[in-house]
Amino acid sequence: MNEQFVLRQRPVGLPSRDHLELVRSARPELTVQDELLLRTRYLSLDPYMYGRMAATQAYAAPVELGEVIVGEAVSEVLESSSGLYSPGDLVTSRAGWQRYSVAPANTVNRVPDNGLSPTTALGVLGMPGFTAYAAMTAFGRPTAGETVAVAAATGPVGSMAGQLARLAGARVIGVAGGEQKRNLLLEWGFDVALDHRSPYFSARLQAAAPEGIDVYLESVGGAVWQAVLPLLNAHARVPVIGLVSNYNGTSEPAPAGLGERIMRTVLQKRLSLQGFVVGEFPPELWQRFHAELTGWVKDGSIRYQEHLLDDFTRAPEIFVDMLRGNNLGKTIVRV
Ligand SMILES: NC(=O)c1ccc[n+]([C@@H]2O[C@H](COP(=O)([O-])OP(=O)(O)OC[C@H]3O[C@@H](n4cnc5c(N)ncnc54)[C@H](OP(=O)(O)O)[C@@H]3O)[C@@H](O)[C@H]2O)c1
**Residue spans per domain, the chain:** 2-120+305-334, 127-278
CA of 224 to the centre of ligand 1 (A): 12
Cβ density class 207-234: b for 16+ within 10 Å, e for less: ebbeeebbbbbbbbbbbbbbbbbebbbe
Q: Residue 37 CA to chain centroid, in angstroms? A: 27
CA of 71 to the centre of ligand 1 (A): 16
Q: What is the mean pLDDT of residues 4-20?
A: 95
Q: Reply yes or no on whether the pLDDT at 186 is more than 80.
A: yes
The reported pLDDT for the residue numbered 203 is: 98
Residues 6+ apart with CB under 8 A from 7: 19, 20, 53, 63, 64, 65, 66, 67, 69
Q: What is the mean pLDDT of residues 112-127?
A: 97
CA of 253 to the centre of ligand 1 (A): 19
Q: Which atom of ligand 1 is nearest to the CA of 277?
A: 3
CATH code reported for the domain at 2-120+305-334: 3.90.180.10
Where does ligand 1 bind, in terms of residues with CB under 6 Å? 46-48, 128, 131, 151-152, 154-158, 176-177, 181, 196, 219-220, 222, 224, 241-242, 244-245, 248, 250-251, 276-278, 322, 325, 327, 331
Q: What is the mean pLDDT of residues 211-220?
A: 97
pLDDT band at 254 (very low <50, low <70, confident <90, very high): confident
Percent of the residues in the chain that have a pLDDT greater than 90, as a whole number: 94
| CA atoms lying within 13 Å on the CB side of residue 226 | 16
Percent of the residues in the chain that have a pLDDT greater than 70, as a whole number: 99
Same CATH topology for 2-120+305-334 and 127-278?
no
Least reliable range by pLDDT among 58-62, 67-71, 115-119, 319-323: 58-62
Rounded Cα distance, 218 and 244, in Å: 10
Phi, psi angle pair for 26, to nearest 5°: -65, 150
Rounded Cα distance, 171 and 192, in Å: 8
Give the pLDDT confidence of 299-321 residue by residue, as tens digits. Answer: 999 999 999 999 999 999 999 99
Q: To the nearest 10°, the Cα dihedral for 245, 279, 307, 163? A: -90
pLDDT band at 251 (very low <50, low <70, confident <90, very high): low
Q: Which atom of ligand 1 is nearest to the CA of 241?
A: 1
Fold assignment, 127-278: Rossmann fold (3.40.50)
Q: Reply yes or no on whether the pLDDT at 249 is more than 80.
A: no
C-alpha dihedral sign at 251, 256, 257, 261 = negative
pLDDT band at 250 (very low <50, low <70, confident <90, very high): low
Helix (H) or strand (E) run with residue 26 in it: none
CB 140 within 8 A of CB 117: no
Q: Reply yes or no on whether the pLDDT at 183 is more than 80.
A: yes
Q: What is the mean pLDDT of residues 136-147?
A: 96
Give the distance between the most distant pair of CA atoms in the chain. Answer: 63
pLDDT band at 23 (very low <50, low <70, confident <90, very high): very high
Say how many C-beta atoms besides its own lie within 10 A of residue 328's C-beta.
16
> Which among 118, 112, 64, 70 has a CA at the least distance from the CA of 95?
70
Give the pLDDT confidence of 24-56 residue by residue, as tens digits. Answer: 999 999 999 999 999 999 999 999 999 999 998
pLDDT band at 59 (very low <50, low <70, confident <90, very high): confident
Q: What is the mean pLDDT of residues 282-304?
A: 96
pLDDT band at 153 (very low <50, low <70, confident <90, very high): very high
Q: Residue 272 CA to chain centroid, in angstroms? A: 22
The reported pLDDT for the residue numbered 248 is: 75
Q: Reply yes or no on whether the pLDDT at 189 is more than 90.
A: yes
**Rama region for 107: left / alpha / beta (φ>0; ψ in -120 to 50; rest):** alpha
Q: What is the mean pLDDT of residues 127-144?
A: 97
